[in-house]
Chain A
Amino acid sequence: MNFDLDEEHNEIAELATRILDDHLDIEVLKRIEDSQEWFDGGLWEKFVSSGLIGATLKEDVGGAGLDIIALVCLLRSQGQYVAPIPLLPTLVSAMTVDKFGTEGQRSSLLPEVVSGSKLLTFAVQELLNDQFMEPDTSYENGAINGQKIVVEYAGLADSALVTAIDDDEPVICIVNLKDPSITMQSSDSTRGEPLWELSFNETPAEKLGGEESVAWLFQILLVSLCAVQLGVTETALKMTASYTSEREQFGRPLATFQAVTQRLADQFINVGGIRLTTFSAAWRLGANLDALEDILIAKWWASERATEIAHATQHCHGGMGVSKDYPLYRYTLWNKHITTSLGAGTQTLRSLGCLLASS
C-alpha cells in the first residue's frame, strides 16, 4: 500500500506553503490581528491569483477539479502558518454549492469566488442546540427565521449557507448576507477573531439541498477542521522540539530531560494519529464511501488528543508558552478554537456511540 500523497497534492501543498511562508511573519500577523476584520486581504489575493481558491471546484466554474485531499492539503498549510484568511468557510461553502447547487446557483456564485470577488461562509451552529441535523432555524415559503452563532467572517462574506428545517427535513439555504432583514452582532472569541451571531427575520433564502446535503456539509466541515488542526499541531510540536533543544537549564538542553522527551514523543504519536485519521476520513468522503465513522474518529483525535498537544507544547515552553511576544500562543488559541468547534471530545464520542449502536 502506498500512503504517499499524489503529485498534484504535493504540488498544491508546496505552492500554498511557499505563498504563506513568503507572505506571513510575526509583524504581519500582529497587524491583521489588531485590525477589526481579522482578514489578510493581500494573502487572500495571492491565494486567488495562484488558483488555490478554485483548486477544488469543477472546471466549468473556473476551478481545477481537485478532490477533498487537496482541500485537506490547503487547510493543513493554513494551520501550519495560522493564517488569518477565510479559507475554510469559503472553500467548504463553495464545494457544497458546487456539489449540490443547480446550474444557476453554481454560475451565480462560484466564478466570483474563484476570481476573488466573493467570499462565502456558513451558519450552522445554534445556541443550546448541538444537533447539526435538527436546526431550530426554519425555512418556509422562500424565507428563513432563526438564529445562528459563531459564524466566521460574516462581516465580510457576501453569502452564507444556512442550515434550517423545511417541514421535517433539514435543508441548506443560500442567504445573501447583505439582506437588511438580518441582524448581525459580532462577539469576542478565544482566537481573537470576531465571530458573529446572526438573526434571520423573514430573510429571503434559496434552497440549495435537502438532508443529503446537510449530512455532507457536516462531514466535510469536520474533515476540514481536522485538516487545520493537523497543521496547527504539526507546527506547534516542531516549534517545541526546537525550543527545548535550544533552551538550556542545569547546563544542558531541556530536550535531554526524559520527562520532556517522553512527553513530546507522546505528542508525536498524537499528531500522527490526527494525520492518519484525517486523511483516511477525507479519502473515504471523497471516494463517496461511508465516511461518518472515520470522520468522528478523526474529530475525536483533533479535539481530545489535540488538547493534549496544546498543553504539552505550551508547558514545555515554560513561561514563553503564555507570553504574547512568543509565537506559540497562537497555535494554542487555534487549537482550542478547533477543538470546541462542532463538538469537542465528549460530543463526538456520543455521536460515534450512537452510530455504532445503531449499526
Chain B
Amino acid sequence: MQENDQILDSPIQDEESFRTAVLDFLEGNCERVKESESSLEDDPERVKECRKFQKELHEAGLAALSYSKEYGGAGLTKKHQELFDEIAREWRLPNSPLYISHGMCLPMLDQYGTDEQKKTFMKECISGEKIWCQLFSEPGAGSDVASLSTRANKDGDEWVISGQKVWTSGAHYADLGLVVARTDPSLPKHKGLSMFIVDFNDPTVEVKPLKQISGGSGFNEVFFNETRVPSNRLLGDLNQGWNLAVSMLMFERVSIGAGGGSLTADRSPTLIELAKTLNKNTDPHIRQILSDLWIREKIRRFIGQRVRDSVAAGRVPGPEGSIAKLNGSLLARLFRDASMEIIGTSGQAWEIGDEEAEKWAVGCLAASGVSIAGGTDEVQRNIIGERVLALPKEPDPYKGASWDSVPRN
C-alpha cells in the first residue's frame, strides 16, 4: 500500500503536455458547460453522438487512460485519469451512455477477465464501438439480489440462460451485457451464482423498455429465452458470481457517489444562478438552503476524492462506496427540494418545448430513482452498520440453506 501511495503522490511527469493535449481535444470536440448533462438518456441520436465522440477520444489516446495499451487503454496512470476528469468537468462530454460500460463493466473485465476475454472485449468497450449493460435485478430479487433466479444450465460446451431481469439501464442500446445467473441451485444463495458475458444481438435476448415517471425510458425489462453462451464467456470462476457482483456493485456505488463525472458534479452553482435569475437570491431562507447545499457538495467532493484516491492506490473499493452512494442519494434529494423551492410554479408548468424549464421538473422526478438504483439507502445503511461499524448482522433463519429450499417471491 505504501508503495502505491508514493506513486499516487508523485507528480505526473508530463503534466503540462498532458494537460495541453486534453484541452486541445476538448476544445475541438466539446462544448464548455456550466453544468453536467443528465445521464442515462434514451435518445438514439445521443447514443450515436456518444459512439462518435468516444471513437475520437480513443483515437486521440485519451480514453481509459490508466488501462493497459495491450487492451486498448492509453497505458498511463490513474493520476492521469484524475487530472483528465478534473479538466473535463468544465465541458459537456456527450458520453453518458457509456457510464455503465466504463464505470462498471470495464473494471470488471480488467480485474476478472482472462487474457483472451480482455483481448476480445476491452478495446471495443473502451472505444465505444460496443456499449455494455449490467444485469442483476429481477422482479423477485431487488434488495435481496442474491436470491435471483435466472438460471444458467450447462449443455455441452455452452451455457443456456433463461430468466428475466429488470431495471436494466441502457439495455435498449447495449451490444453486450454482464449477466449474473444461478449455476447451482443446490448451494446457498450467495454461493451458486456466476457471471456471464452475453451478446445482446442474440435474437433470444428480448429487451422491453419501461416508461418512467419522468417521462423517459432509461431502463428496461430483459428476457433471456434459452440464450446460448459459449463456456469461454464465463467471467471469473464458476459459482463465484456473488463476489464479482459485489465488487461490481462497489464500482457502481463509487461511480454514483464518487465517480467525479456528471453524476457527482457540483450542482449548487446552477441553482445559485437560477436564484439570481428569479430574484430570489436575497431571500434569507433560500440563501440558507443554497449555503447548506454548497457545504454538503464540498463534503461530497472530499468523500469522492478519498474514494478515488483509494481506488487509484490499487485498493478494491470497499464499504466507502456505500458511504459515497448514500451521501449522493441524500444530496440528490436536497438538490431536488431546493430546486423546487426556488423555481416555484415554473416547476409545475412550462411552455411546450422550453427545455430549460422542463429540465427542472424532470430532474425533480428523476431524483427519486437515486435512492433505489445501485442498492437502496437501507441496503447502504446496513452495509455501513455491518462492515464499517462492525455491528452484528441481522439473524438470518435461512443462513447456509440451499437456494432451492428457501422461500422467495
A residues with CB within 8 A of B: 125, 127-128, 130, 149-150, 185-191, 195, 197, 247-251, 257, 259-260, 307, 311, 314-315, 318-319, 321-325, 329, 332-333, 336-337, 339-341, 343-347, 349-350
Give every chain A residue within 8 A of B279 (Cβ-Cβ): 128
User: Looking at chain B's contact residues, is the secondary structure mostly helix, strand, loop, or mixed?
Assistant: mixed
Pair A189/B396 contact, Cβ less than 8 Å: no
Pair B167/A249 contact, Cβ less than 8 Å: no
Nearest opposing residue in chain B for A329, CB measure: B213
* Shortest CB distance A338–B (Å): 10
23 contacts between A and B (CB under 8 A): A128-B279, A149-B345, A187-B351, A248-B408, A249-B141, A251-B397, A259-B378, A315-B371, A319-B142, A321-B368, A322-B213, A322-B214, A322-B365, A322-B372, A325-B210, A329-B213, A332-B365, A336-B348, A336-B365, A340-B344, A341-B348, A346-B285, A346-B286
Which B324-380 residues have C-beta < 8 A from chain A? 333, 337, 340-341, 344-352, 354, 358, 361, 364-365, 368-369, 371-372, 376-378
Pair B143/A318 contact, Cβ less than 8 Å: yes
Give every chain A residue within 8 A of B213 (Cβ-Cβ): 321-324, 329, 332-333
- Tell yes or no: B83 within 8 A of A by CB: no
Q: Mark B71-98, 1 if CB is under 8 A from A, else 0.
A: 0000000000000000000000000000
Pair B211/A323 contact, Cβ less than 8 Å: yes
Given known pairs A190-B348, A260-B378, the reply for A319 and B167 (CB within 8 Å) is yes
Given known pairs A249-B147, A250-B143, the reply for A128 and B364 (CB within 8 Å) is no
A318 to B372, CA, bound (A): 6
Q: Mark B151-182, 1 if CB is under 8 A from A, else 0.
A: 00000000000000011000000000000000
Count of A-B contacts judged by CB separation below 8 Å: 131
Pair A150/B345 contact, Cβ less than 8 Å: yes
A49 to B270, CA, bound (A): 52
Given known pairs A249-B142, A322-B213, A336-B364, the reply for A190 and B369 (CB within 8 Å) is no
Pair B350/A250 contact, Cβ less than 8 Å: no
* Shortest CB distance A34–B (Å): 12
* Shortest CB distance B96–A (Å): 18
A13 to B344, CA, bound (A): 32
User: Looking at chain A's contact residues, is the secondary structure mostly helix, strand, loop, or mixed?
Assistant: mixed
Give every chain A residue within 8 A of B292 (Cβ-Cβ): none
* Shortest CB distance A335–B (Å): 11
Give every chain A residue within 8 A of B167 (Cβ-Cβ): 319
Nearest opposing residue in chain B for A324, CB measure: B211
Pair A324/B212 contact, Cβ less than 8 Å: yes
Nearest opposing residue in chain A for B219, CB measure: A319
* Shortest CB distance B337–A (Å): 7
- Tell yes or no: B118 within 8 A of A by CB: no
A341 to B349, CA, bound (A): 10
- Tell yes or no: B144 within 8 A of A by CB: yes
Nearest opposing residue in chain B for A192, CB measure: B215
Pair A325/B211 contact, Cβ less than 8 Å: yes
Pair B345/A248 contact, Cβ less than 8 Å: no
Given known pairs A259-B381, A311-B368, A346-B341, the reply for A323 and B409 (CB within 8 Å) is no
